[in-house]
Structure 1
Amino acid sequence: MSTTDQGWSPQDLDRIGGAEELELATRRDDGSLSTFTIMWVVRAGDDLYVRSARGPAGAWWRRALRHGEGVVRAGGGEREVTFEHLAAGNAAHPAIDAAYHAKYDRYGPRIVGSVVGPSAAQVTLRLLPADRG
């Protein structure tokens, strides 16, 4: 199976990045998984991203930053992942915003507005497969 530099197979990128919604669970302090949270996921290039629609107040977001690991479910599959916080000034943010607009604009500006723009850039995580080499 071929993979990208981050370890995602083309099939995983299509399956996860193409899913309408993603279920994400983060590790708790005791190592167990939290309840799965449903959210939007986008693919920009060969990377997968999620953003906290509630900003830094989201409980899953705080756990993801603290523990850096979790599990995602999408497109009928499940993968262990690590989370990489993307700095607000990262050059990838315009492409991530564009991917959210392209995929989800049909839900309207109020809803999409919670996951695009400068505030959303601050709460962006790149998903990486936990078993990458």
Structure 2
Amino acid sequence: MWTEEEIATIDQEDSLFISIPNSEGVLHKPTYIWGVSAGGDFYARGASGVESKWYQAALISKRAHITIGNVDKEVILEFPDDPTTKTIVDQAYRQKYNSYLDLMTSDSVAAATVKMIPVH
């Protein structure tokens, strides 16, 4: 579970970096992505949809290291595709990223939604 402080950081910070481990467990160079909190959970989307390189790597690894503000965590990745999650994540992107709204809430980008669960 994310702490209230971590969620507050996620809500305020734009600079989210994700590193996905390769098959040997070595983390790739951090990739800048956009993430949001919704319903107490943390989500990100691949701006290039399911073709995003980091998203493709995430599907294989199902683990990552993320840094956003002072939050630096190992996470487990899930790939929700239900309409309720799409709606709440769309709303979170609308609130946080007005200037990128059309891109981040398009159906092709929403298809690349990743839920990040902290490893404690």
Shorter-chain TM-score above 0.5: yes
In the TM superposition, residue 127 of structure 1 has moved relative to its aligned partner by 0.7
Once structures 1 and 2 are overlaid, which stretch shifts more, 12-21 or 22-31?
A: 12-21
Partners of 1:22 and 1:36 in 2: CA distance: 9
Task: Give, as a single letter, the amino acid of the residue that structure 2 aligns with 1:127.
Answer: M
Mapped partners of 2:32, 2:67: distance in 1 = 9
- TM-score, normalised by the number of residues in structure 2: 0.91
- Structure 2: distance between partners of 1:59 and 1:21: 18
Post-superposition shift, 1:123?
0.6
Give the deviation of 1:63 after TM superposition. Answer: 0.8
**Match status 1:34 vs 2:23:** no
- Structure 1 portions without partners, runs of 5+: 1-6
Aligned counterpart, 1:127: 116
Kept in 2, the 8 Å contact 1:24–1:38? The answer is yes
Q: Corresponding residue for 2:84?
A: 91
Matched AA of 2:80: L
Q: Distance in 1 between matches of 2:87 and 2:109?
A: 11
How big is the alpha-carbon RMSD for the aligned residues of Structure 1 and Structure 2?
A: 1.3
CA displacement, residues 82-120 of structure 1 (integer Å, 9 cap, x when unaligned): 111011x33121121111111111x2xxx4322113222
Identify the match of residue 55 of structure 1 among 49, 52, 56: 49
CA distance in 2, matches of 1:28, 1:17: 29
- Give the total of aligned pairs: 120
Q: Which consecutive unaligned segments of at least 5 residues does structure 2 have?
A: none
Structure 1 17/26 Cα, relative in aligned 2: closer, same or farther at 3 Å?
A: farther
Please point out which of 103, 106, 112 is paired with 1:114: 103
Q: Give 1 or 2 for the bigger CA radius of gyration.
A: 1
Q: What secondary structure does 1:99 align onto?
A: helix
CA contact (8 A) 1:81 1:130 kept: yes
Overall identity of the aligned pairs, in %? 26
Distance 2:70 2:2 in 1: 16
User: What's the offset of the Cα at 1:76?
Assistant: 2.2
